[in-house]
Structure 1
Amino acid sequence: MGTIQKQVNGACVPTQEDVDFFDRNGYWVSPVIFSEEELAAIKEHQDRIYRAEFETGRAPVCNWLEGADNPRALRKTDNSHWCDSVLRGVATNPTIGAIAGKLMHADTIRLWHDQLLYKPGRGTGRETANVGWHQDFSYWQCAQEPTLITAWVAFTDVDLTNGCMQMVPRSHQWGLLKMSDFFEQNMEKQQEAMDIPENEKFTTVPIIMKAGQVSFHHALTIHGSGANATEEARRSMAVHLMTGETRYKAGTRGDGHFNAGFMKGRDGELFDGEAFPVLYSAATSS
């Protein structure tokens, strides 16, 4: 137990019709990629992270800790793939990489970073554990262009009752808006203040998924999620990816992102090296 598939599952790769849907709407949902056995191992290793049991001896960038942090809060752990081989298997999964490559029309896909996520179930606390409306690229402006995509892996079934993601179709075509706040709890207020382009409409689509499915969204697609009103935790990992053409842009607000430090000021150069492992390469997949 604990091994993640290391071969591309061709049955999960999007068709041209799927790619056209992504191009129009900025998101797409895959078939089931991870088996029940794999998901059981993933969740077991996720819990180890919260107990600060790091298989590799390397800690993540940040981590919710059992007994130390608010049990009602949203748990967000950056770069769990540093800590654990099973979680690294999720973050570097070749099927996810191949899908991202096709959706982004890219020959190479690298890992940008991962976020291990745990949205607690209903309790007596006041926290809603919403995720506010945001565009991922607003936090990643150390990249010259929004040539990034997120693969959101559902470890449990997700729907509106437990705070599934909601996408705003076509919003990846609106450019970068001044509206992003991952931690904002008042999502209605956010929407009212949003300055969207003329002749566009803010509509939302709930991304309802079975455990083991993966949703993909462009770095400019507006998305967020509501509270978990069920008794069980909603578990997932956001695998943030970039094309092989993604270059570093120094001197932006994105320089505060921990990944910018790996570039050591190399303005205009490609993100590369061990910090950004390759999930997919057309040269080696053909």
Structure 2
Amino acid sequence: MTTMQKQVNAACLPTPEDVAFFDRNGYWLSPVIFSEEELAAIKNHQDRIYRAEFETGREPVCNWLEGVDNPRSLRKTDNSHWSDSVLRGVATNPTIGEIAGRLMHADQIRLWHDQLLYKPGRGAGRETANVGWHQDFAYWQCAKEPTLITAWVAFTDVDLTNGCMQMVPRSHQWGLLKMSDFFEQNIEKQQADMDIPEDEQFTTVPIVMKAGQVSFHHALTIHGSGPNATDEARRSMAVHLMTGATRYAQSPKGDLHFNARFMQGRDGELFDGDAFPVLYRAAAGEGQ
């Protein structure tokens, strides 16, 4: 079995110019982090999850199952790291953690949760499997502030033909908008109805990636994706991360998130504990 990386790959870390780009635009794309050998193992273990082969014996959340669920739909599995050591290695990768720490100017990064994603190819049927325009923070109201970032790991090459993510630059500066719908299929109408700030424009940037690259976006950055028009599935994992300053907000709406229960109602306290593994911690005296 392939062993996931245990050490930080310094060649993949963002430069000060890269951090400044993220500050301005709300997203950044890394070099290749995962090797072909690692990706082959990752995809193998992704397929095991869909067959309900849980290495640890613990089920993930909202898992798509082979022979049960619609083969034409977008597959979204939450917290696959509970169920499989290889997928946990992706979700807790130290290079991803340090990149997130640098981009967020944070001295600690913890895992919030992961989403294992599979967008079927056209051979599976006619459904579009779009991902609607959304801000991740709209679904994370159990956090008091948007001190979170997502690392989206490409297991396959992605471009517009197979439904790559598209980012809206600077949208992380617009605050939380009332527009998020991950499952919306009519993304053109969704965009037309969006109430964005005056003097701003809704422009999109396709995030074209090689397998093994990782894109990062702020929790308020608007993003979505179109259909997969190729014959092969688009595979990925969204690794949702938070800084060490992220505090729990107890509320009826916030507590709808499946991870909120691990805080046991400790309103205003920092997220901590084994449910939220540490990916990165700055060395003593290291400035952010």
Normalised by the length of structure 2, the TM-score is 0.98
Partner residue of 1:176? 176
The 2-side partners of 1:124 and 1:208 are apart by 23
1:233 & 1:284 partners in 2: Cα distance?
44
Structure 2 counterparts to residues 139-178 of structure 1, below 5 A? 139-178=139-178
Distance 1:252 1:17, change over 3 A: farther
Q: Distance in 2 between matches of 1:200 and 1:74?
A: 31
Aligned length in residues: 286
Residues 71 and 124 in structure 2, CA contact (< 8 A), matched pair in contact too = no
Residues 202-258 of structure 1 deviation map (CA, whole Å, 9 limit, x = unaligned): 000000000000000000000000000000000000000000000000115121000
Letter in 1 for 2:182: F
C-alpha displacement of 1:157: 0.1
Q: Say if 1:129 and 1:253 are closer, same or farther in 2 by CA, change over 3 A.
A: same
Q: Which residue does the alignment assign to 1:187?
A: 187
Contact preservation (8 Å) 1:119, 1:235: yes
Encode CA deviations 1:38-59: one digit per residue, 9 max, x unaligned: 0000000000000000000000
SS of equivalent residue, structure 1 residue 258 = coil
1:3 matched to which residue of 2?
Answer: 3
Compared CA separation, residues 162 and 284, structure 1 to 2 (3 A): farther
- 2:245 corresponding residue in structure 1: 245
CA distance in 1, matches of 2:48, 2:62: 14
SS at match of 1:30: strand
User: Alpha carbons of 1:119 and 1:284: their partners in 2 closer, same or farther (altered >3 Å)?
Assistant: farther
SS at match of 1:198: coil
Q: 2:231 — aligned with what?
A: 231
The alignment partner of 1:19 has SS state of helix
Structure 1 pair 255–30 and aligned structure 2 pair: CA distance change class (3 A): same
Q: Which residue of 2 aligns with 1:258?
A: 258
Q: State the Cα deviation string for residues 1-23 of structure 1 (Å, max 9, x = none).
A: 32111100000000000000000
Distance in structure 1 (CA, Å) of the matches to 2:224 and 2:252:
24
Write the distance in 1 (CA, Å) between the matches of 2:155 and 2:126.
Answer: 25
Report the counterpart of residue 97 of structure 1 in structure 2: 97
Q: Matches of 2:253 and 2:283 in 1, distance apart?
A: 34
Provide the rounded CA distance (Å) in 2 between the counterparts of 1:26 and 1:64: 31
| 1:23 partner SS | helix
Q: 1:162, 1:254 → 2: CA distance?
A: 33
Q: Which residue in the other structure is 1:113 paired with?
A: 113
Q: Helix, strand or coil for the counterpart of 1:220?
A: coil
Distance, in Å, in 1 between the alignment partners of 2:124 and 2:212 is 30
Identity percentage of aligned residues: 86
Match of 2:69?
69
Could you report, residue by residue, the CA deviation over 1:64-100 in whole angstroms, capped at 9, with x for unpaired residues?
A: 0000000000000000000000000000000000000
Q: Residue 28 of structure 1 aligns with which residue?
A: 28
Alignment of 1:50-65 (within 5 A): 50-65=50-65
Contact 1:153 1:237 in 2 (8 A): yes
Q: How has the CA–CA distance of structure 1 residues 105 and 252 changed in structure 2, closer, same or farther, with 3 Å as cutoff?
A: farther
How far apart, CA to CA, are the structure 2 residues paired with 1:162 and 1:149? 24
* Separation in 2, partners of 1:284, 1:69: 49
SS at match of 2:265: coil
User: What residue number does 1:220 align with?
Assistant: 220
Q: State the Cα RMSD in Å.
A: 1.1
- TM-score, structure 1 normalization: 0.98
User: Take 1:251 and 1:91, find their aligned partners in 2: how far apart are those partners?
Assistant: 27
Partners of 2:236 and 2:274 in 1: CA distance = 24
Partner of 1:131: 131
Offset at residue 123 of structure 1 (A): 2.8
CA 34–285 in structure 1, closer or farther in 2 if over 3 Å, else same: farther
Offset of 1:126 from its aligned partner? 3.4
Letter aligned with residue 48 of structure 1? R
Structure 2 alignment gaps of length 5 or more? none
What secondary structure does 1:208 align onto? coil
Cα deviation for residue 120 of structure 1 reads: 0.2
- Structure 1 unaligned residues grouped into runs of 5+: none
Contact map agreement 2:159 2:208 (CA 8 A) in 1: yes
Give 3-state SS (helix, strand or coil) of 2:69's partner.
coil
1:183 positional shift: 0.1
Could you say what secondary structure the match of 1:73 adopts?
A: coil
